[in-house]
Amino acid sequence: MGVRAQIARLAVSLALVGLAPPADAKRVRVLLYEGPGPLHVADGRADAVLTAERGLRADGRPVPAGLRFEAPGGVRVAGVGYRGAVLASRGAGGMRVVNEVPLEDYVAGTLLREVYGSWGSEVLRSMAVVIRTYALHEIGKRAGEPFHVRAGTRSQVYGGMDAEAPPATRAAAETRGQFLAYRGEPILAVYHAAAGGRTASAEEVWGRPVPYLVSVAVEGEEESPDTYWRASISNSILGRALEALGHRVGKVRAVEVAERTRSGRARFLRVAGTEGHAEVEARRLRGAVGNDTLRSTRFEVRPERDGFLFVGSGRGHGVGMSQWGAKAMSERGADYREILAWFYPGTRLDRLDEGPALPAVGAEGAR
């Protein structure tokens, strides 16, 4: 099909991209791409190279109203397959490409990007519920916006239909429609790789209390590669990170933990340099240095010859479910409901449009 015919068939108004899905057909709008392009999109019947030079263009021709791609076999964006529809419109950086996908397909296409398929059915079921719950929370929060979640680590890592596999589709089907609720609403179901022995509360990390995101003990994370880690950071790298945060202290001479949270994570660091002193929030320094370098804020600091050695445990912000902790619980015999009960106390396992709610998961702790 030629691009002119394609445009006539696929063009939709920009307003359509922002419409909320019907209540009886939950769909997640996932941001796949923002930028100038070029980006190749094909649905088996039509394809185009999209760019954002002087507005949205398909194969060089202007498309002022946007494009919608949809086909039974899926849509490929830059070679990756996605179920549902792919919507292209003008957006930040020139062009915005969004996958509008059924909720259960989103769960199946995300699960094995966030947890190992070999970890067993109970871990996969618990993660399926958490992924679905997080998506529902964001759908409710961003109903009138062009997209609900991003496809990468800023939301959940979504791989589309190419990321689906039997363990994922089975876990999604076995928990179909199930989500965690607090006072009748989907919760903010955040999670992380490993807690280092104890999760953090939302209040100590983000500054506001959330009733179901409290600090709980975590056992059995020893198999995690992030249970014990070390990171050497040179004076020059540390100095640049501090400067990016607005602290000019010259050459760094000393770093120490000035304050810890209740779960044992560094809250503030005290830094002394040749040109001054600074007190820095540990999570902000982690972001400036790199989250893959400082895997968590549960660390101690030791001086080295040309910098500092950070010795830590855990990976991620530490709030909500520890994935390695969930694995350990399942190996001790806990089912997915008990896992969810432990990491999100006080929540209820509910079901979308399928009759009465399931029993509360927060009433009993895990074994």
Q: How confident is the model at residue 64 (pLDDT cuts 50, 70, 90)?
A: confident
* Low-confidence winner among 12-21, 122-131, 249-258, 355-364 (lowest mean pLDDT): 12-21
3-class secondary structure, 282: helix
Contact (CB, 8 A) for 152 and 34: no
Q: How far apart are CA 345 and CA 366, in angstroms?
A: 10
| Residue 160, Ramachandran bin (φ over 0: left; ψ between -120 and 50: alpha; else beta) | left
Residue 1 has pLDDT above 90, yes or no: no
Q: What is the pLDDT of residues 90-146, one digit of tens each?
A: 887 789 999 999 999 999 999 999 999 999 999 999 999 999 999 999 999 998 899
- Please name every residue paired with 137 in a beta bridge, in sequence order, or none if there are none: none
357 vs 208, more confident: 208
Residue 363 has pLDDT above 80, yes or no: no
For residue 28, give the H/E element and its range. Answer: strand 27-35
Residue 362 has pLDDT above 60, yes or no: no
Q: What is the pLDDT of residues 288-301, one digit of tens each?
A: 999 999 999 999 99
Q: How far apart are CA 312 and CA 214, in angstroms?
A: 21
Query: Above pLDDT 70, what percent of the chain?
Result: 89
Contact (CB, 8 A) for 366 and 185: no
What's this model's pTM, rounded to 2 decimal places? Answer: 0.86
3-class secondary structure, 2: coil
Q: What is the pLDDT of residues 2-52, one digit of tens each?
A: 333 333 333 322 222 222 333 434 899 999 999 999 999 998 887 899 999
For residue 57, give the H/E element and its range. Answer: strand 57-58
3-class secondary structure, 364: coil
Q: What is the pLDDT of residues 300-319, one digit of tens each?
A: 999 999 999 999 999 999 99
Q: How far apart are CA 281 and CA 269, in angstroms?
A: 6
- pLDDT at residue 357, rounded to an integer: 44
- pLDDT at residue 14, rounded to an integer: 23
- pLDDT at residue 92, rounded to an integer: 75
3-class secondary structure, 126: helix
Please, what is the average pLDDT of the chain?
A: 88
Instruction: Tell me the DSSP string of 213-229.
Output: ----B---GGGSTTSSE
